[in-house]
Structure 1
């Protein structure tokens, strides 16, 4: 809350300043672009070349997650021609900032626009005591670190190129040529990663900064994080003992830290736990000195690849995360019978849209790609085929209240009254289970909509956020046999990308 108050004050200060100076109109006639942190800055510079001035807002040495824009920073953005940021899960202050930015004047570009992100998690960073932070560490609803996968960085560059080209059509050709030349370099980097890591003898790598999920996913590796381990502070004796046992049990040779890992912790771990430390640079910033020495995104990512090779070139067993196997949840189909409770139709009340059109138009293709890489059991094409069967339906929309359901097919309405008639617990081939909640139409002319069953991964009363539906005119028992087709519905006010992101999050 204090952060928001500070930001709000900063916005107010800027608003007053803008009124006083007429908005700070530029005089040089050149395109001025403000970018947030290093990868966004580098990619934008590569796109615009000499056709624009590009400014880096967050300086090297500043923790990007903790950055709060000053009144001066806000003024700089407001006076720019364009503002490029990565994602609100990284630059958490941006949504509040954009409330004050004149979008007619400042071209705002989100580099991850159109990209689905992995569910987020916790990153351990120890900070000095700061009561502005509600919790220690950083929590992302979704993981923003896509730039650490060379293959995904190509898409970031393309998105920045397209956004700026739309704003400055007279520069489109130049921006396109610049981007193409840089993308070719990124493609070469992607090939280096693919060729090197496809031959990995050890797929698991252990890191203190859990920023490398996309890199791992795209190149066939598994990131394992060690929690509660700071890059610049020795572990306690108790933690060191735990860590030593964990390292020896899993035969870990390297633990990867950020570049600021202290010699003290390296020496302590090397001596007590028999493990070496190396650097995986998350590339959130580069110092002016490093850039003057020729360091850039590609050279640092090449250094990261060489560091990873120290692990991947040595055969080893699968490394178990410290926290062990993830708990089995109700959502995954693991629960006690006694936990199942009756539900009412009001749990499903709302205006719902079928997701099937989004499968057909390709919006969900990113979901299938993620699923294929995460599971390794089916290809993306096989997942799409599987869900094409599951989602297929001609019911475009369903409207539900506490007594009725209205099924809409190509504008034609079929509306009936329903009563709740109980639930059925089903056991699936994998050993997990699901609950279907059963409803029956009281209208005699309901036909194919006489019997309805809902499955929404919940087992007790509570509003649903999406559901699978089964319906027919024969009997409830007949519907229990249906396992391959489960038309799926999300709220009608969600757009396609929001639905796809929600699917991936679960």
Structure 2
């Protein structure tokens, strides 16, 4: 302990001494701003470097302190790292318990003018997934396994720090980085905002691709060598089964092989996912011993030399991950025989479950976050079709089949529900355009979470809430979607609530303007309504 303290003390003296002897060579954020020189930024994990490069463009030089292929959990910064950071404009680290050395760096450079940025600030973190960790079975080896986990560098605490694997949380990371850059170089605010908006659109598109692809696959379990994928569990319904202590470089021990065999047999899985740097030797042992194929999944914390040579980036690596997941989750498990009757029963059960959800009966755990891309497109209000009589057959149909109201009573009920003067809405990425009385108003919206509501009848609904990025005349501060879905899926129609008071909107249950795609005719909309 004394040795470590002395090392930190001497390092701090070294930094201060260098600053005092050569302050003309130190690039502070103030000097960079005044001379209009590019900013100098250092980061830890790769996504922070990539997002900063994209947002800053030509206005910053960005480097990671982590060597290619290193382990970001247990990396020890060098004296040279400390010196570089002390002379930089900003040091951006992930936080949330990922980099234990970040605190050491912060203490060493706190007297310098470098801006220290914890990129996870303000971002909702999930609890770290230990539920499926098969590396700690049996109390006799609990202490041994605990020490081994610490040596492997996968001890994160209670919260999962791998937030960059979630495209929606990555938008929040990028927003924190953008605000830092604006603070350091305010004259480039327009450039940083423009670059951020483009990055945000690409992340939203990536989120949509993950949801669309994974939602269509029959399986949901993956065996991994590191429990880094909790945000995929939350967002896409994937279940990660982590076999702790496995190394991508070293051949598995008999004990570790036995863990893999038992786990693979228990779940009938044919693949084991190792993170980047898995060696052919490890893959061959896994294939030979248990008949499972070892595939690579990339946690993106650092690039490998191969990644750099191939000019990979955040999006190409995430696309590879999606392709790997598609391969793994497309293969049915072998835990039970598969035949046409099973397929029919599965489909029937799935249909029944979907019908229950549509009717408002579901568990809280089934509800997932959704991107605004689920409602992307050009939408028309159905209110004009109610007024011109096009929907009369819908009300007659309801009266005939439900019998609790007359057709006229149904029409009066829906007239209150559908009433609106916003005849058309266009959603493009994060941008919403409202058409009202021949005029249009546009604004950017960001996700603000969801709320589960319980109705008087006992069924429930979910409001997906978006908040305008900036207050602007002509657009509501909040919009809330309700479309009978509780997880990511492309909407066929929706009810929309809007206004400037988030909580008051949640209490609104009598007026729910309803929108269908503009390419549909009134007759097609009526037919669709009667089908439900």
TM exceeds 0.5?
Answer: yes
- Which of 125, 136, 150 is equivalent to 2:151? 136
User: What is the match of residue 165 of structure 1?
Assistant: 182
User: What is the match of residue 45 of structure 2?
Assistant: 37
CA distance in 2, matches of 1:30, 1:150: 28
Normalising by structure 2, what TM-score? 0.56
- Which of 174, 196, 199 is equivalent to 2:191? 174
| Aligned residues: CA RMSD | 3.2
User: What is the match of residue 15 of structure 2?
Assistant: 14
Contact 1:257 1:278 in 2 (8 A): yes
User: What is the match of residue 319 of structure 2?
Assistant: 302
Q: Where does 1:98-247 land on structure 2 (aligned, <5 Å)? A: 98-102=106-110, 105-120=113-128, 135-137=150-152, 138-141=154-157, 142-247=159-264
The offset of 1:237, in angstroms, is 2.9
CA distance in 2, matches of 1:101, 1:385: 52
Change (3 A) 1:373 1:177: farther
Change (3 A) 1:70 1:238: closer
CA distance in 2, matches of 1:287, 1:266: 18
The offset of 1:196, in angstroms, is 0.3
Contact 1:7 1:68 in 2 (8 A): no
1:72 aligns with 2:88: no
Q: Where does 1:310-459 land on structure 2 (aligned, <5 Å)? A: 310-316=327-333, 375-376=365-366, 381-382=450-451
Give every structure 1 segment of 4 or more consecutive aligned residues whose post-TM-superposition deviation is greater than 6 Å: 121-124, 377-380
Contact 2:149 2:245 in 1 (8 A): no
Q: Higher helix fraction: Structure 1 or Structure 2?
A: 2
The offset of 1:67, in angstroms, is 1.7
CA distance in 1, matches of 2:82, 2:176: 24
Change (3 A) 1:168 1:252: same
Change (3 A) 1:17 1:385: farther
User: What is the match of residue 98 of structure 2?
Assistant: 90
The offset of 1:16, in angstroms, is 2.8
The offset of 1:282, in angstroms, is 0.9
Change (3 A) 1:383 1:10: farther
Contact 2:68 2:302 in 1 (8 A): yes
CA offsets 1:343-390 (integer angstroms, 9 cap, x no match): xxxxxxxxxxxxxxxxxxxxxxxxxxxxx998227997555889xxxx
The alignment partner of 1:66 has SS state of coil
CA distance in 2, matches of 1:287, 1:309: 23
CA distance in 2, matches of 1:219, 1:377: 11
Greater mean deviation of Cα atoms: 295-304 or 73-82: 73-82
* Structure 1 residue ranges without an equivalent (≥5): 125-131, 320-371, 387-506
CA distance in 1, matches of 2:271, 2:70: 27
Contact 1:119 1:143 in 2 (8 A): yes
CA distance in 1, matches of 2:123, 2:189: 22
Greater mean deviation of Cα atoms: 10-19 or 245-254: 10-19
The offset of 1:222, in angstroms, is 1.2
* Structure 2 residue ranges without an equivalent (≥5): 136-146, 337-361, 370-448, 456-532
CA offsets 1:289-316 (integer angstroms, 9 cap, x no match): 5335331000000000100111211233
The alignment partner of 1:186 has SS state of helix
The alignment partner of 1:295 has SS state of coil
CA distance in 2, matches of 1:73, 1:273: 43
The offset of 1:280, in angstroms, is 0.5
CA distance in 1, matches of 2:334, 2:175: 39
Change (3 A) 1:55 1:232: closer
Q: How many residues align?
A: 327
1:55 aligns with 2:63: yes
User: What is the match of residue 279 of structure 1?
Assistant: 296
CA distance in 2, matches of 1:261, 1:201: 27
Contact 2:211 2:236 in 1 (8 A): yes
